[in-house]
């Protein structure tokens, strides 16, 4: 009998598979389809201080082996998330969840994380300093080591929960950013968020996305994500949540060999709402095929 469990900071996960923020709503929407308690955890929809409608439409563009999205952090705001979304999710999901927090200024990050820290259901905070879908703030924190350090340090001062910082691949050196976050007190890092991409409509000769550019995700980005997880693993001594194009149990194992302790599944959920469940079902079969008894034993095994 294989063991799929992993220890992610203070959170014990039955398996390393976590739906990525922005691709799984607040979780309870999927409870109509299957028992979501099979999931290792859930990274909830990205949350900001104030409610956000998001970017103008169209927000989605299809690509070869992936898609581009420019949703723009549409969410009801931190207070509504705490008052309504988390209690609703708690009706269907018994495990701790991950709060994905975004913002446009350090004080906004601090306020949201301070509120999230008081919620028992939240087992971990994922600080999104990497979203490319907003015009100001957001991305700039994740492309500068100094800015990443400052926002991480400020949030670290107001939360006792495990703090993971979600990193952008659109930085000159993702390893340098990861090191800065570790020095500022981060308990771990999540990578990668989406790459920047765009599509042009050949009939109108205009960009498909109203925002022109958006976040490119899907199977096409997996080799890039894998390379970055590998590099960051060699640069820091804190755990990694790996993501980017993961769509199979084999991808999960490959990502863990590169250095990930847990693995988030993003765009695959948008294509198939059963993606995470299918990967979890496949994982023990793939492990047995590869002679892996304890999944945690392979973390960083490719180094």
What's the CA gap between 215 and 60, in Å, rounded?
Answer: 9
In this predicted structure, what is the pLDDT of residue 131?
Answer: 56
Residue 132: pLDDT band (50, 70, 90) is very low
Residue 135: pLDDT band (50, 70, 90) is very low
pLDDT exceeds 80 at position 138: no
Tell me what the mean pLDDT of segment 167-194 comes to. 97
CA-closest candidate to residue 246, choices 198, 171, 191: 191
CA-closest candidate to residue 129, choices 161, 162, 152, 156: 152
In this predicted structure, what is the pLDDT of residue 26?
Answer: 97
Catalytic site positions: 131
Cβ count within 10 A of residue 202: 8
Q: What domains can you pick out in the chain, each with its CATH number?
A: 6-53+73-188+219-298 (3.20.20.70)
pLDDT exceeds 60 at position 161: yes
- pTM: predicted TM-score of the whole model, two decimal places: 0.95
Of 101-105, 175-179, 232-236, the poorest mean pLDDT is in 101-105
What's the CA gap between 148 and 152, in Å, rounded?
Answer: 6
Provide, rounded to the nearest whole percent, the portion of the chain with pLDDT above 70: 97
Exposure string for 2-40, b = 16+ CB within 10 A, e = fewer: eebebebbebebbbbbbbbbbbbbbbbebeeeeebeebb
Residue 130: pLDDT band (50, 70, 90) is confident
């Amino acid at each position: 009998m294989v063991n799929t469990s992993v220890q992610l900071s203070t959170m014990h996960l039955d398996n390393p598979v976590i739906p990525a923020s922005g691709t799984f709503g607040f979780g309870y929407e999927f409870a109509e389809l299957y028992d979501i308690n099979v999931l290792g955890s859930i990274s909830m929809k990205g949350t900001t201080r104030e409610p956000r409608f998001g970017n103008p439409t169209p927000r989605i563009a299809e690509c070869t082996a992936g898609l581009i999205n420019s949703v723009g952090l549409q969410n009801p705001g931190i207070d509504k998330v705490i008052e309504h979304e988390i209690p609703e999710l708690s009706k269907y999901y018994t495990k701790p969840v991950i709060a994905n927090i975004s913002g446009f200024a350090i004080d906004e990050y601090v306020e949201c994380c301070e509120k999230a820290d008081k919620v028992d259901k939240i087992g971990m905070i994922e600080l999104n300093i990497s979203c490319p879908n907003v015009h100001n703030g957001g991305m700039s924190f994740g492309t500068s080591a100094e800015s990443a350090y400052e926002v991480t340090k400020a949030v670290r001062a107001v939360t006792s929960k495990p703090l993971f910082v979600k990193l952008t691949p659109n930085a000159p050196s993702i390893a340098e950013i990861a090191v800065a976050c570790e020095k500022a007190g981060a308990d771990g890092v999540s990578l990668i968020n989406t790459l920047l991409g765009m599509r042009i409509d050949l009939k109108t000769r205009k960009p498909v996305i109203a925002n022109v550019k958006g976040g490119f995700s899907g199977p096409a980005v997996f080799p890039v994500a894998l390379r970055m997880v590998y590099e960051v693993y060699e640069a820091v001594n804190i755990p990694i949540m790996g993501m980017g194009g993961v769509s199979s149990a084999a991808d999960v194992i490959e990502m863990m060999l590169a250095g990930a302790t847990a693995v988030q599944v993003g765009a695959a959920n948008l294509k198939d709402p059963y993606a995470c469940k299918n990967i979890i079902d496949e994982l023990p079969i793939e492990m047995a095929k590869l002679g892996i008894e304890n999944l945690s034993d392979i973390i960083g095994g490719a180094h």
